[in-house]
Amino acid sequence: MKKIALMAGIAAFLMFAGCSKQPNLENAQQQQTQQTEEVATTTPTENETVNTENAQVEEQNLEATTVTISKTQNNQQFAKKLASIVVYFDFDKYNIRPDQWPKVEKLAELIKSNPSNYTVRIEGNCDEWGTEEYNYALGLKRANSVKNALIKLGVDPKKLTVISYGELNPVCTAHAKWCWRLNRRDNFTYLP
């Protein structure tokens, strides 16, 4: 009986703690509450022994799990926001076009708004025109252009790293100008 009461207490605590601290994680908390409730109702009543040490450990574990999920979800959301920004370039060019500047500014604000410990990998990409090393260097210069712009906009350089995929990461494989335009781009990837 004591065990049931303890488990119910833990469930209530989790519900309360979860609701007050993590307003963005409604689904995850609901699942946890339901699981805890299920455990409470299916525990055999004849087993009267209670190990409080274990209970305490269990409570700590659940709490820790809640925090991890929250952190992971925040990171995932941040990674999604980063991935949604794509900066496009002209053929054989690596300077940032005027129409692409608002995206770079948005990117700078996004990175500055998240002070935790992570790296943003700026990935330079090219169209299919050219397999030479030059194409990889062009991709790298595209990545560097945005990196330098972000630093000027106040982003911590330690948070940024660059890589070039040349023509090896196409988002479009049609043999047409509109498709090549989509492949001449910088992507932004979250690295924990």
Partner 1 sequence: MKRLIVTIIIFFSFLFSKEYVITKYIEDKPIINVTFKGPDQVKKIVDMDFKVLDHFEINESAKYSFDFNYDKVTKTLKVIYKKDNQPFLIKKYRSRSYAYFPFLIHRAVYDINEYFQLPSAKFLIRKVIYSLLTAPKEASIYLSDYTLSYKKRIISGGLNIFPKWADKKQTKIYFTKYERTPVLYEYNLLTGKKKKILKSVGILIVSDVKDDKILLTMAPEGQPDVYLMDFNNKTIKRITKYPGIDVNGKFWEDKIVFVSDRYGQPYVFEKDLKSGVLRRVLHHGKNQVGVDAYNKNLVISTRETANAFKPNTFNLFLINSQDDSLKRLTMKGQNSYPNFSVDGSSVMFIKREHFSSKIGIIRLGENKVFYYPLSKMLQSFDW
Which residues make Cβ contacts (< 8 Å) with residue 168, sequence separation at least 6?
none
Question: What's the chain's length in residues?
Answer: 192
Give pairs for 12-17: CB < 8 Å, separation 24+: 13/59, 14/62, 14/63, 14/66, 17/63, 17/66
- For partner 1, which is the closer residue by CB, 64 or 168? 168
Give the binding site for partner 1 (CB under 8 A): 91-92, 128-141, 143-144, 147, 161-165, 167-171, 173, 175, 177, 180, 191
Q: How far is the CB of 74 from partner 1 (least distance, A)?
A: 22
- For partner 1, which is the closer residue by CB, 6 or 86? 86
Q: How far is the CB of 184 from partner 1 (least distance, A)?
A: 11
- For partner 1, which is the closer residue by CB, 16 or 91? 91
Determine the 3-state secondary structure of 177 from DSSP.
Answer: helix
> How far apart are the C-alpha atoms of 134 and 162, rounded to whole Å?
16
- For partner 1, which is the closer residue by CB, 73 or 169? 169
Q: How far is the CB of 165 from partner 1 (least distance, A)?
A: 7
